[in-house]
Amino acid sequence: MEMAAASISRIETGRRGIKPRDLRALLDIYEIVGAERESLLDLAREAQQKGWWQKYANVLPGEYSTLIGLEAEARLVRHYSQSLVPGLLQTGAYAHAVTIAARPGDPPDEIDRLVSIRLKRQERLNDGTFELAAILSEAVIRQSIGTSALMSDQLRQLVEVGERPNVMLQILPFRAGEHGALTGSFSIVGFPVPSDMDVVYLENMISAVYLEEAPEVRAYESVFDYLRAAALSPNDSRTMLIGALEDLT
């Protein structure tokens, strides 16, 4: 199957969904035939329709759809951002600007749908069972995206969201120097059941990668812990955000 053992375990314990195509391969391996096989395949097809994001399947890359599904099950997401405001914290105008920049050939209606998906994802922040710990490089709040008014609205939203009890927002200042995440942004998705291994999500220009092996996840967790210690406190981060906002006005 070319899948990590942790992935198979999460599927078998019902913590992660499975595509009918992959299920067929597993059922072949498990030698499941007849009525039981068809019943399981029917369940897999039905499960694919349960997530709100499934209606956007024609514009959603598979890796992105998987991320939304993981976020829907997650208890905690730890995110480090190197250059952009994380999707869970973007304003609509900011999301629109960066989506157009990343996908210049897409028609306007598809851009609008992708932006609506991003904003829909943010509803997870209203769930008291979900926590977000976000560390933003200072470059994120210094990078000009769109107009000054657009950036002002985005920084203002970061200040407001950072005051939520389930959101920990920190800024990693330039003066923090070199660190293990200079290669780029990453997310660590954690789940309510302790036996479920965390998943690391890495996104690049055209696709994304998931890491589920324990040594790989621990490496990113160690880097995140370092970044959290090197970053400004939430209060000092708020002060820096307000200062950046004042610079734009």
Only one residue has tokens 């780029």, namely 184
Domain count, the chain: 1
3 assigned to some structural domain: no
H or E segment and range at residue 78: strand 76-81
230 assigned to some structural domain: yes
Residue (of 28, 30, 129) closest to 76 by Cα position = 129
Instruction: Identify the CATH number of the domain in which residue 148 sits.
Output: 3.30.870.10
119 assigned to some structural domain: yes
Reduced to 3 states, what is the DSSP secondary structure of residue 106?
coil
- Quick check: 20 and 45 in contact, CB under 8 A? yes
Q: Compute the distance between CA of residue 168 and CA of residue 193 in angstroms, rounded to an integer.
A: 22
26 assigned to some structural domain: no
117 assigned to some structural domain: yes
Structure tokens at 36: 């039981």
Indicate whether 57 pLDDT > 80: no
Structure tokens at 193: 């059941």
167 assigned to some structural domain: yes
Q: Compute the distance between CA of residue 106 and CA of residue 64 in angstroms, rounded to an integer.
A: 17
Give mean pLDDT, residues 160-164. 96
Q: Supply the range of the domain harboring residue 128.
A: 51-248
Global pTM reads: 0.80
Indicate whether 49 pLDDT > 60: no
Give mean pLDDT, residues 92-96. 98
